[in-house]
Chains A and B, each alone.
Chain A
Amino acid sequence: MIAARGLSIRTGAGHAAVRSADLAIRPGERLGVVGESGSGKTLLALAMIGMVPEGLQVSGEIAVGGTVVAPGDEAAWQRLRAREVAMIFQEPMSALNPLARVGDTIAEPLMVHRGLTRSAARAQARELLEETGIPQPERRLDQYPHELSGGQRQRVLIALALACDPALLIADEPTTALDAAVALRITDLLVRLARERRMALLFISHDLAAVARTTEAMLVMYGGDIVERGATDRVLADPAHPYTKGLIAARPSLAQRGRRRLPTIPGTVPPLEALAEGCRFAGRCPVELPRCVHLRPAATATASGSAACHLLGAAP
């Protein structure tokens, strides 16, 4: 069980990039986080592995397997990374050390954390590569990243993340840089691995289809707030928050194609300092109330989970 309570991340100027977020992931659970760029979803993910960039202040409580870890306790996080929480990133092209053989990269955490010998770590690296379904795993061990395709590199990164058998794998936009067919295979691989290993998966994406395919539960983020959460299929079928509704309506589907213009959410995500103190969506929301600008809505139970919107609290 890995959980965050009241997690806030502020910039040096004091603007909140993430506002008191709560989340909990049970062993084997696959949780999606959806939002546009600037919604705070990547920062939230980085906080769960203790890697929020320097210069940002993290407050709140993060508990990994029952023990509370201070956000800035680098030594404690270093012991937890790879063994409890592992992470893969958006850009497989640049996320691997270009000067190291793939086999050595995967073997390194095994030697450091598990004290394995070089040959034992290498044998394990081969098994991990095989598990990710990369063709010719034996041959890959001695190859360099520049000799692999994007999809193959992402599989190598997944093998690296799995090396020390983590309880939670965070995947931050793992398929954005890949072409569509490869992206599908990678998301399916993540689901299969999470099931087989009873490993929790935190799947960060702006792509609703990928989240639908991969996760059981989901969070929707906007401007640093979690605005809606619930079971993935039910949130997508029956969204409660105006932002979630807009997001789903703006998604192209095959049935609609060519028939009418795609609805869009008017405007773009404003910069942090321009966000409203109340509901972050105020200003772009089509059904805004006067109090939305200054009063932050509390989470209210909905048919599919919960959502933070004033329209849901009071009778409409």
Chain B
Amino acid sequence: MSYFLVRRGIGFVLTLIAVSVVVFAVMNVLPGDPSLTILGIDSTEEARAALRERLGLDEPVVSRYLAWTFGALRGEFGTSYAFDVPVAELIAERLPMTLSLAISGMALTVVLALVLGIAAAARHGGPGDWAIMLFSQLGIAVPAFWLSMLLVLLFAVHLRWLPPGGFPGWGDPLAAARALVLPTVALALVQSAVLARVTRSSVLEVMRLDFVRTARASGLPRARVLWRHVLPNALVPIVTIVGLQFAGLVTGTIVIENVFYLPGLGRLLFQSIANRDLVTVQALVMLFAAIVVTANFLVDIAYLLIDPRLRGARA
């Protein structure tokens, strides 16, 4: 469509390839003999040889890398050493949990941050602005897992409104939703603190630009100037941070799933580390990194939708 999109698209693919090389190298080349990592140093040489044979570790590194990548492109990530089932199956089973957590967390983050950030900018310098900035400064300093514990202490231990953790399964949608409330809030509160700050400063910056004065001189109501003129122009830095935050949110789900004992990809990642299931760990790390890279690529496309100046032949 445009030069900008083609350039970013090529960059996206190259980054994915580079990420896969790094993941593969760290997991397969750095440790020397992966079979030793998996079985431990007290394993017998026969057992290790058998495992190397089974995992194809005797092949040259390059052909192993190529086999892994092309398998991954077809949705095949090998067989889990610990569970003895295809890794793809494990992932498919856990993906809905992590995705619903990440998406609901992101949605709540964006809504909270936009409301607070715009409110703070509109009350620039007043007590409301001050309170929102205090919330934001604190939110940046509070670890999500500690906030989760405080929320559990209050809403599960003291008030007994919500379950402290665990997941009843998707069969009972109401119970499933109740189990996701605290994790979502814990994720979103922390993330929205940063985003609210960016929103506020971006809105304030745009409010000083000349075209805002033009809009006011056209007799447009204050709210209309804010929503139709200021906000779209303030979106570019906001979208950038949303993209970066999606990365934080995805890694955040790894932590949060472990706080609340939710059976998602993050929990699987930890079980796999405990089980020394390198095949599964490798697939999951690649998947998480790919989600982060994709989120950043989507941000680039969002720029294109927001800003007509990038849609031209060159930019």
Contact = CB atoms under 8 A, between A and B. Distances in A.
Say if the two chains contact directly (CB < 8 Å).
yes
Nearest to B228: A108
Given A78-B219, A82-B219, A146-B308, A96 B224 contact: no
A94 B211 CA distance: 6
A91 B210 contact: yes
A89 B308 contact: no
By DSSP majority rule, is chain B's interface helix, strand, loop, or mixed?
A: helix
B229 interface: yes
Contacts of A86: 217-218
A112 B221 contact: yes
Interface string A127-171: 000000000000000001010000000000100110110000000
Given A97-B233, A112-B224, A157 B214 contact: yes
Q: Which of A80, A89, A164 has the most CB of B within 10 A?
A: A89
B190 to A, nearest CB: 31
Contacts of B307: 98-99
Contacts of B141: none
Contacts of B309: 98, 144, 146
Interface in A66-105: 74, 78-83, 86-87, 89, 91, 94-100
Contact of B233 (A82, A91, A99): A99
A89 B221 contact: no
Contact of A51 (B216, B228, B306): B216
Contacts of B248: none
Interface in B204-247: 209-211, 213-222, 224, 228-229, 232-233
A223 interface: no
Contact of B219 (A80, A99, A100, A157): A80
Q: Which of B221, B222, B233, B308 has the most CB of A within 10 A?
A: B308
A224 interface: no
Interface in B184-212: 209-211
A163 B217 CA distance: 12
Contact of B214 (A74, A83, A95, A164): A95
A95 B210 contact: yes
A113 interface: yes
A230 interface: no
Nearest to A101: B308
A80 B229 CA distance: 20
Given A97-B229, A99-B232, A99-B306, A109 B218 contact: yes
A96 B214 contact: yes
Given A97-B233, A98-B233, A144-B309, A81 B218 contact: yes
Nearest to B224: A112
Contact of A160 (B214, B221, B224, B229): B214
B214 A78 contact: no
Nearest to B220: A112
Nearest to B236: A99
A49 interface: yes
Nearest to B209: A94
B233 A108 contact: no
Interface string B278-315: 00000000000000000000000000001111000000
Nearest to A79: B219
A97 B221 CA distance: 16
Interface string A155-197: 0010011011000000000000000000000000000000000
A79 B218 CA distance: 10
B211 A78 contact: no
A49 B232 contact: no
Contacts of A78: 219-222
A158 B211 CA distance: 14
Contacts of B216: 51, 81
A23 to B, nearest CB: 19
Nearest to A97: B211
A214 to B, nearest CB: 20
B195 to A, nearest CB: 21
B214 A113 contact: no
Contacts of A98: 211, 233, 307-309
Nearest to B212: A97
Contacts of A83: 219
Nearest to B125: A54
A185 B220 CA distance: 29
A100 B214 CA distance: 13
Q: Which of B209, B216, B221, B309 has the most CB of A within 10 A?
A: B216
15 contacts: A74-B222, A78-B220, A82-B217, A86-B218, A94-B209, A94-B210, A94-B211, A95-B211, A97-B232, A108-B220, A109-B218, A112-B219, A144-B309, A146-B309, A157-B214
Q: Which 4 residue pairs across A and B have the least CB separation, nearest first? A: A81-B219, A82-B219, A94-B210, A109-B218
Given A81-B218, A144-B308, A160-B218, 14 more contacts: A51-B216, A78-B220, A86-B217, A95-B210, A97-B214, A98-B308, A99-B308, A100-B229, A108-B220, A109-B220, A112-B219, A113-B219, A160-B214, A164-B219
